[in-house]
Amino acid sequence: MARDIGIDLGTANVLVHVKGKGIVLNEPSVVALDTKTNEVLAVGEDAYMMVGRTPGNIKAIRPLQGGVIADFDITEAMLTYFIDKLNVKGFLSKPNILICCPTNITAIEQKAIIEVAEKSGGKNVYLEEEPKVAAIGAGMDIFQPSGNMVIDIGGGTSDIAVLSMGGIVTSRSIKIAGDTLDNDITQYVKKKHKLLIGERTAETIKKEIGVMYDHGRNDEMDVRGRDMVTGLPRTITISSLEVLEATRESMVIVVEQAKAVLEQTPPELSADIIDRGVILTGGGAMLDGIELLFAEELKVPVFKAENPLDSVALGTGILLENLKNRKK
């Protein structure tokens, strides 16, 4: 008997939830490809280790950009690899698959995701909107007639939504998220320190010493890269406050979008949000001080989900349990 699976198909990571087993896979959405033969050399963690470190003919590709499929064949190869690895297919049966997508993707993009999942070995494929699934996974009861607000900051997109009665009341999805912040840090180091660093280094800086709100913490970290003037390797020291400065503009945009969603929310639901607060999910919720930034700007309580990275995958698990009651 095939087991149902839920997939959080993220720009940065793919998480897979298998019914009855919980989250069984969490790997980077990266595929290493030999450009001469078009052969897939590695997928996930193994491919991520190669980012920025491969010879000319090997390319580490992220097939998803901004929450949508940028490269159809490679996404299919990646999903097929992950699904085969799980060994969830029965002898003759295929699993039902529930996949999450950003709120504002087009019908064509939705169709592409469904097609990829079907080709990778799914029987029935269901699509759900990411913030809704994230809210369920973060433990919100969104099926009651009361307002819940979730801000899901992933790798490629930030999805902001107000939910009630199991549906999305108002939402915004913007392509400013974790990857944007990494890029901001890369550009800042290049401009201020005249040093070129790779995307993995930028991500490490963000995770280890990054702050999103000035609340007194100021750590430092040694960063190695290539000097733009001499072309030789060089080490600099970067501080938390520099990361704050580098990422400020992008974070302001995310905050403005969250305000816009609140402004479009019916007053009764706004009152509920003041009571319950806003929940932050996704990898972005792990950033230091991010809840303080949103709390100050939105004037409502803001909390991080218990397992922000897993919220969407956990939500797919809960929705899969209710799949029997859903009509396709």
Residues marked as binding for ATP?
11-13, 155-157, 203-206
First to last CA, the chain: 20
- Burial tier of 85 (Cβ tally within 10 Å: 0-12, 13-18, 19+): middle
Question: Does residue 295 contact residue 257 with C-beta atoms inside 8 Å?
Answer: no
Q: Which residues are annotated as a binding site?
A: 11-13, 155-157, 203-206
Of the candidates 180, 182, 181, the one whose C-alpha atom is nearest the C-alpha of residue 202 is 182
Contacts of 70 (CB under 8 A, 6+ apart): 62, 63, 64
- Burial tier of 86 (Cβ tally within 10 Å: 0-12, 13-18, 19+): middle
Q: What is the phi-psi region of residue 140: left when phi exceeds 0, alpha when psi lies from -120 to 50, beta otherwise? A: beta
